[in-house]
Amino acid sequence: MAQSDAESGRIVIAVDLDYFFAQCEEIRNPDYKSKPIVVCVFSGRTETSGAVSTANYLARELGVKSGIPIVNAKRLLANHPEAIFLPVDHQYYETVSERVMDIVKSSSSGSPFEQASIDEAYLDVSESSNGDFERAARIAQDLKTELKIAEGLSATLGVGPNKLIAKMATDSKKPDGFGLVGAEEVRNFLKDLPVRKLIGIGPRIEDKMASLGIKTIGDLADFDAAVLSESFGRHLGPQLKKLAQGRDDDPVTARPIEQLSRIVTLKEDANTYSFQDQMIPLARDISQRLSTLGFKCRSVGIIAITTGLKTKARGVTLESPTDSYDEISSIASGLFEGLFRSGNQRIRRAGLRVSGFDKETREVGWARREEERQETLSSFFSPAVNPKGSA
């Protein structure tokens, strides 16, 4: 890249609501604040089947964390009869999130804003802070206070020269914290952290890194680029090294939605498409979301998780984009039939996915780009350019 973070001098604020779903439950019922709260996704197979979505810090201190089986969480809290297990109420969290995001947006009006998830957002305050980290810190602190006053929610805010560092600054100060890492401090901030703390490195990559002798982010920042490309791919290898150096030019900007999906755990494992009825609400929901967004999709796919928890996917690209429930349903049913015909599959979870969105308003532009692409290609292969052809 032509410009480094230091040269471009950005200042980014990361906003991360603390234990969001569980905190939403606490503000709805303040009695919960003194108890371990576990927000669960019940799959409906048995009384306790499913996983923990989020837990408050009282529960976390007792070992309950995101992703663990609900049964295990119950075991961990067996000696805590005051513990509360609640089903996720996505609707409610969404309404709280909308109000929060409005506050975040207006906290530095005019600044580029990006909602990164239901409970995370970024602000690029380079302009509004006049390039001054002190002023940025004040904007962030004021916002933190306002979220507390207006919504009763605690959040952790981070200030940094880019999204990566701002985000990692919050990670180091959770919950109810504030972190600031200036451009000159980035190297020291990162260098001794375990490589697993770098955003984008999960357990798999951590293992591979360990086998290369990479333990800290500093190790990764100095590691041989060619070996990294070889081990992690031509895109990911260089990307990870760059992130380890604290360099991130990803802009703070609204992201277009690229795909929509819904998946459910089946009432019983299936080896035929006998669960059609369970796909109806999913197709209805997806079709409805498409039309709400004004989107039509060019790709329709199915996702299946086998009893061995392997993912299987099948999909097709359509001649003309659709948002129709009937069309999505019938394509999905054909894909499921094909999946079961292709081999003996025992499926635990099944779902639908759509992608390849063309907003109607963008269809003309897309068609024109498509034409241009074809012209470019045909000229590439034309006799004048093709050495063999011109011979």
Partner DNA sequence: AACAAGGGTTTAG
Partner DNA sequence: TCATCTAAACCCTTGTT
Q: Does 254 interact with DNA (rule: CB under 7 A)?
A: no
Stretch that binds DNA, among 5-13, 152-160, 214-222, 227-235 (CB under 7 A): 227-235
The answer to whether 49 contacts DNA (rule: CB under 7 A) is yes
**What minimum distance in Å lies between the beta carbon of 107 and DNA?**
20
Residues 145-184 that bind DNA (CB under 7 A): 167, 171
Q: State the pairing for strand pair 311-322/295-306.
A: antiparallel
**Segment 267 to 296, residues that bind DNA, using CB under 7 A:** none
Separation between Cα atoms, residue 220 and residue 209, nearest integer Å: 8
Measure the CA–CA gap between 90 and 56, rounded to whole angstroms.
Answer: 17
Instruction: Decide: is 388 part of the binding site for DNA (CB under 7 A).
Output: no
Interaction between residue 53 and DNA (CB under 7 A): yes
Out of 101, 103, 193, 236, point to the residue binding DNA (CB under 7 A).
236
- CA dist 255 and 5 (Å) reads 21
User: Residue 311 interacts with DNA (CB under 7 A)?
Assistant: yes
Which DSSP letter does residue 69 get?
B
Q: Residue 94 Cβ, how far from DNA at the closest point, in Å?
A: 11
- Under the binding rule (CB under 7 A), the answer on residue 316 touching DNA is yes
Residue 261 CB, nearest distance to DNA (Å)? 4
Among residues 103 and 116, whose Cβ is nearest to DNA?
116
CA distances from 251 to 1, 4, 113, 309 (A): 13, 13, 10, 36
Output 135 or 197, the one with its CB closest to DNA.
197
Q: Which of 373, 379, 382, 383 binds DNA (CB under 7 A)?
A: 373
In contact, 216 and 193? CB cutoff 8 Å: yes
- 143 near 104, Cβ under 8 Å? yes
Q: Which is nearer to DNA, 138 or 310 (CB)?
A: 310
As beta bridge partners, residue 295 has 359
HSE-up of residue 178 (Cα within 13 Å, Cβ side): 10
Q: What is the largest CA-CA distance in the chain?
A: 85
Q: Which residue of the set 25, 26, 114, 120 is catalytic?
A: 120
Rule CB under 7 A: say whether 310 interacts with DNA.
Answer: yes
Out of 27, 149, 150, 199, the residue judged to bind DNA by CB under 7 A: 199
Q: Examine residue 70 and tell whether it contacts DNA (CB under 7 A).
A: yes
Enumerate residues 6+ apart whose C-beta is below 8 A from 348.
265, 266, 269, 305, 306, 307, 309
Contact, 270 vs 340, CB < 8 A?
A: no
The DSSP-derived string for 190-234 is HHTSBGGGSTT--HHHHHHHHHTT--BHHHHHTS-HHHHHHHH-T
Could you say which of 66, 274, 276, 379 contacts DNA (CB under 7 A)? 66
Got the DSSP string for 163-198? HHHHHHHHHTT-SS-EEE--GGGHHHHHHTSBGGGS
Among 126, 314, 323, 336, binds DNA (CB under 7 A): 314
Residue 120 bears catalytic tag:
yes
Active-site residue list = 120
Q: Where along the sequence are the contacts to DNA (CB under 7 A)?
A: 20, 41, 43, 45-46, 48-51, 53, 66-67, 69-72, 116-120, 167, 171, 199-206, 232-237, 239, 255, 257-265, 298-299, 301, 309-317, 349, 351, 356, 373-374, 377-378, 380
